Amino acid sequence: MSKLGDLGARLHRGEVGYDFIGNRKIWYGISILITITAIVALAVRGLNMGIEFQGGAVFTTPKTNVSVTQAQEYAEEASGHDAIVQELGSGSLRIQVGGLDTEKSDQVRAQLSKDLNVPENKIAAELVGPSWGEQIATKAWTGLAVFMILVVIYLAIAFEWRMAVAALIALIHDLTITVGIYSLVGFEVTVGTVIGLLTILGYSLYDTVVVFDSLKEQTKGITKQTRWTYSEIANRSINGTLVRSINTTVVALLPVAGLLFIGGGVLGAGMLNDISLSLFVGLAAGAYSSIFIATPLVADLKEREPAMKALKKRVLAKRAAAAAKGESLDEGTDLAEGALAGEAAVVGQGRRGRSSENRG
């Protein structure tokens, strides 16, 4: 507890110095594992596609005395298809019947109204033809593709192509994890899910962009100094924006959690629930990927550049020389600092040494 409290206080003071980049192999490994799990789950179990994607009907009745099993019998008898019946928080029933076309579902609704002894106009019905979901899915894919292309172009111009690539990989990573969780848990995929998933696009990148923005700022004029390598500065910008990332994620998740638990709790399954569930999963994945995947990837890509390689060499040489002279690095001169872009680049300079103590 005290350790957690201590971390909280240090987060508050902006003092954390975890070595994200140094441990990137671990995070890559974890992400690859999760991604493979997601893909396998998707291949083996597939997705539980909702009514919107198969064609069928969802009927929502007002409060009735009919039991769930009884209602299920009625629905299956009336439709000749399997029915899923859920009781909602308000005591009403949600009856879902797959494989119906819009014509047939009308008859089923009329029959249900008789069986359940509820006036027909009190039964809400969502009748979906089989091609509707397909249309939504096609449009969603188009949207996804268009958005990815535009955002990569934008990031490549606003930042650089390496960041665009890293952001894209992080985005795909988030989507894969979200889809994987849906497949594993067997949550139903509805139009609401698709909406949520598409929203993750914006959110996931939003988070990544904030970290990149700080990274870009801190690495201005990086070749003019010999104190730090690109990776080290990248690590510091992650740490520098960590508080913000955590706060942003918490603040974004709170309303979504409200939607998920309260909205869903009152109404049972429904669009509120579907959107918020996929958002919840995707947001968490997005926060993770912007810290553990996107930025380390940028550092990796950057370190391949000749300029950065040369810088690393100079930095290491300087450190070796300093070590030979017995000088402490942390209290080193501020000579190089002036060459760096802004003071922000030196925030936390004295705390680099803490990274080891945070490990574990």
Footprint of another protein on 47-76 (CB under 8 A): 52, 60, 62
Question: How many whole angstroms from its chain centre is CA 69?
Answer: 38
**Minimum CB–partner distance for residue 29 and another protein (Å):** 28
In the complex, the smallest distance separating the C-beta of residue 193 from another protein, rounded to whole angstroms, is: 11
Q: Which is nearer to another protein, 252 or 311 (CB)?
A: 252
Please identify, among the stretches 22-30, 68-76, 117-125, 314-322, the one whose residues bind another protein according to the rule CB under 8 A.
Answer: 117-125
Q: Work out whether 347 is an interface residue with another protein (CB under 8 A).
A: yes
Is 147 an interacting residue with respect to another protein (CB under 8 A)?
yes
Of 315, 297, 160, residue with least CA distance to 222: 315
> Please, which residue, 180 or 286, has the CB nearer to another protein?
286
Site for another protein in 20-49 (CB under 8 A): none
Distances (CA, A) of 43 to 31, 34, 46, 96: 18, 14, 6, 26
Measured from the CB of residue 69, what is the shortest distance to another protein in angstroms?
23
Residue from the set 7, 34, 111, 132 that interacts with another protein by CB under 8 A: 132
Structure tokens given for 283: 């947001």
Residue span binding another protein (CB under 8 A) among the ranges 25-33, 71-79, 139-147, 316-324: 139-147
* Residue 255 binds another protein, judged by CB under 8 A: yes
Could you tell me the smallest distance in angstroms from the CB atom of residue 280 to another protein? 11
Question: Which member of 2, 251, 325, 326 binds another protein (CB under 8 A)?
Answer: 251
Site membership for another protein, residue 317 (CB under 8 A): no
At closest approach, how far in Å is the CB of 326 from another protein?
23
Which residues, including other chains, have CB under 8 Å from residue 153's CB and lie 6 or more apart? 164
CB of 342 to another protein, least distance (A): 6
Nearer to another protein, 172 or 210 (CB): 210
Longest dimension (CA), the chain: 93
Count other C-beta atoms under 10 Å from residue 40's C-beta: 13
Any contact of residue 248 with another protein (CB under 8 A)? yes
Residue closer to another protein by CB (options 250, 320) is: 250
Q: In angstroms, rounded to a whole number, what is the distance separating the alpha carbons of residues 189 and 20?
A: 34
Considering only 32, 40, 150, 310, the residue that binds another protein (CB under 8 A) is 150
Among residues 113, 178, 235, 276, the one that binds another protein under rule CB under 8 A: 276
Residue located via tokens 């091609």: 131
Q: Is 154 in the site for another protein (CB under 8 A)?
A: yes
Give CA separation, 162 vs 26, 135, 146, 210, 318, in Å: 21, 34, 20, 16, 28
Among 34, 47, 172, 344, binds another protein (CB under 8 A): 344
Is 165 a binder of another protein (CB under 8 A)?
A: no
Q: How far is the CA of 78 from the CAs of 73, 74, 101, 312, in angstroms?
A: 8, 6, 14, 73
- Closer of 179 and 279 to another protein (Cβ): 279
Task: Name the phi and psi angles at 60, rounded to 5.
Answer: -120, 120
Contact call for residues 22 and 355 (beta carbons, < 8 A): yes
Q: Is 56 left (phi over 0), alpha (psi -120 to 50) or beta?
A: left
Nearer CB in complex with another protein: 220/359: 220
Contact between 114 and another protein by CB under 8 A: the answer reads no
3-state secondary structure of 15: coil
Q: Pick from 50, 240, 286, 296: which binds another protein (CB under 8 A)?
A: 240
Q: Read out DSSP for 42-87?
A: HHHT--EE-HHHH-EEEEE--S-S--HHHHHHHHHHHHSS-EEEEE
Please give the Cα distance from 52 to 54 (Å, whole number).
6
Binding residues for another protein restricted to 176-235, rule: CB under 8 A: 191-192, 194-195, 198-199, 201-203, 205-206, 209-210, 213-214, 217, 220-221
In the chain, the amino acid numbered 247 is N
